[in-house]
Chain A
Amino acid sequence: MDSGQLFFLFDRMEQSFIGELIRNSIWMFPVIESVHLIGLAILGGSILMGDLRLLGFVLNSRPINYVINETLVWLKLGLVILVSTGIPLFLSEAIKCYYSRAFWIKMSALTLGLIFLFFIRNPLCLKTEKDSFRFRLVGIVSISIWATVAGSGRWIGFS
């Protein structure tokens, strides 16, 4: 797909019914954005609890797999809230996103974060009970990726 086709696709998404609906409303964007932030609190909290445990900074008396496991369902809930509010927010300003560097950084970091979370961090951590140095590494990588996702997400609004 060349950039012309991609732009066409983004243009079509911006013209979509949902995009139109949100753009024509004063309050819908702010309200969806607020729920998006509540999703951030849930997902961010879940990831932090797990990553801080990996780094040895919280609930050290409990095994890693227990902490990761307890946060998993809330992590997924946060993710569902974020994606289901993020898509309509995107549809309402797809062209702006197309030209926003922050948007592309966020989408790249998000893809990386999801792959890392579900294919590396969780499979690795749900098996093991013992701490080791490599878990600290996993925790640092995870925190860095998700901080980039959330941080660049905020910067979409500044452009």
Chain B
Amino acid sequence: MLLEFSIWLSETEWSIALHESLYLYPWIESAHVLSICFFIGTLIFVDLRLMGLAFNKLSISEMNSKTLPWTIFGFGLMVLTGLLLFYAIPVRTYQNIFFRFKLFLILLGGINIFLFHRQMSKEGGKWDEENIPRSVHIKASVSLVLWAGVIISGRMIAYNWFDCDRQPQPDWVNWAASCMIELSQMEDF
């Protein structure tokens, strides 16, 4: 179903125009990379604050609430440019295992943020005077690792090592990328 949607998307006029554009695609790609600084760059400092490694004079609630608008701004920019990048190359991206792994990591990152915010709203008031609980340190470290993973797997989407049109691939790759292997490709004459 999603594959059909991607194929349909790839045949729309604007998708083809974006894919074939000489300058627009690179500009969107550059904006996508630059928004890393807004999104992950500001998020890093909240994580560092939670770990007691930066801005320790500020309370966690102040650090979080003051930088969150910029993190959200960066995230919005990333999603907007990211959707356009997907729109330009839908089918290949949909079947790219790095893209799929990246989405999975983003999901985990989102869950981590949700768990942190839930914990902060429950007991965050006490953190400012007392020591920060170990579980918060862990969430901050997990956050740094996950978003670094998002950057790495995002960069790897550019490589076609595991693309469906490059066969033979190991079974797990074809499974993870939901490649539609035609009989003609499987029979090696």
Chain A contact residues, CB within 8 Å of chain B: 26, 30, 33-34, 37-38, 40-42, 44-49, 52, 57-59, 61-62, 66, 70-71, 74, 147, 150-151, 154-155, 158
Contacts and interface: CB of A to CB of B under 8 A. Distances in A.
Nearest to A52: B70
A38 B34 CA distance: 12
B155 A48 contact: no
Interface in B32-47: 33-34, 36-38, 40-45
A34 B41 contact: no
B117 interface: no
B156 interface: yes
Interface residues of B, number: 32
A37 B58 contact: no
A34 B155 contact: yes
A151 B34 contact: yes
B22 to A, nearest CB: 10
B33 A42 contact: no
B36 to A, nearest CB: 5
A109 B103 CA distance: 34
Nearest to B44: A45
Interface of B: 26, 29-30, 33-34, 36-38, 40-45, 48, 54-55, 57-58, 62, 66-67, 70, 147-148, 151-152, 155-156, 158-159, 161
B89 to A, nearest CB: 15
Nearest to A29: B159
Contacts of B54: 70-71, 74
A66 B56 CA distance: 11
Pick from B41, B57, B148 the residue with the most CB of A within 10 Å: B41
A30 B159 contact: yes
B26 A34 contact: no
Counting from the closest, the 7 A-B pairs by CB-CB distance are A45-B41, A44-B37, A34-B152, A41-B40, A154-B30, A34-B155, A44-B41
Contacts of A58: 66-67, 70
Nearest to A57: B70
B28 to A, nearest CB: 11
Contacts of A150: 33-34, 37
A151 B31 CA distance: 8
A26 B161 contact: yes
B36 A37 contact: yes
B58 A48 contact: no
A41 B151 contact: yes
A113 B150 CA distance: 28
A37 B37 contact: no
Residue among B45, B55, B152 facing the most chain A CB atoms (10 A cut-off): B45
Contacts of A30: 155-156, 158-159
A21 to B, nearest CB: 19
A147 B34 contact: yes
A70 B57 CA distance: 10
